[in-house]
């Protein structure tokens, strides 16, 4: 017998889960767009952006892929009310922190483009933290198991 009692989640749970799934899909689309940039598209980037792209270590692309795919899969599993969503969100959060720690600390991106370049990464990290918290709360309340 299953020791976890599954409770029906409120309507707002579904709204949040759908929004997080759309957010994850946007992340995967951004990753796909970056990975499939044509030479023509790369040529249209600024000199700095072309050099930045050329000097990005391959592991950064892997970390980015792990971040977005585990986030999207976590959201889909949240919709299916599966507890593993929490673990996938934790993986995504770790990958996001590694990704942006390298980009913002180990490169000259902020010096070149200004502090405003940190806004979107901060938003992404905050949403990743929200995802972990939300899945944990949903587990505690018996909405996912």
Span 47-98, pLDDT tens digits: 999 999 999 999 999 999 999 999 999 999 999 999 999 999 999 999 999 9
The pairs formed by 60-67 with CB atoms below 8 angstroms and a separation of 24 or more are 60/99, 60/102, 60/103, 61/35, 63/95, 63/98, 63/99, 63/102, 64/31, 64/34, 64/95, 64/99, 65/31, 65/35, 66/91, 66/92, 66/95, 67/27, 67/92, 67/95, 67/96, 67/99, 67/128
Average pLDDT on 88-114 reads 96
- pLDDT of 111 > 80? The answer is yes
Rounded Cα distance, 85 and 100, in Å: 22
Q: Side-chain half-sphere of 142: how many Cα atoms within 13 Å?
A: 7
Over 60: is that where the pLDDT of 1 sits?
A: no
User: Which pLDDT band, with edges at 50, 70 and 90, does 6 fall under?
Assistant: confident
User: Residue 5: pLDDT band by 50, 70, 90 thresholds?
Assistant: low
Domain ranges of the chain: 11-140
Residue 109 confidence (pLDDT) above 50? yes
Q: What is the mean pLDDT of residues 122-143?
A: 97
Over range 4-27, report the average pLDDT: 93
């Amino acid at each position: 017998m299953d020791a976890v009692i599954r409770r029906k989640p409120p309507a707002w749970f579904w709204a949040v889960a759908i929004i997080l799934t759309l957010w994850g899909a946007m992340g995967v689309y951004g990753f796909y767009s970056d990975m499939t940039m044509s030479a023509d598209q790369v040529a249209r980037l600024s000199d700095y952006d072309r050099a930045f792209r050329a000097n990005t270590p391959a592991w950064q692309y892997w970390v980015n892929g792990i971040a977005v795919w585990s986030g999207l899969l976590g959201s889909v599993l949240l919709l299916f009310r599966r507890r593993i969503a929490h673990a996938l969100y934790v993986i995504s959060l770790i990958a996001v922190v590694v990704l942006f720690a390298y980009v913002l600390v180990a490169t000259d991106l902020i010096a070149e483009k200004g502090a405003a370049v940190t806004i979107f990464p901060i938003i992404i990290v905050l949403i990743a933290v929200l995802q972990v918290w939300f899945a944990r709360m949903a587990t505690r309340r018996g909405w996912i198991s």
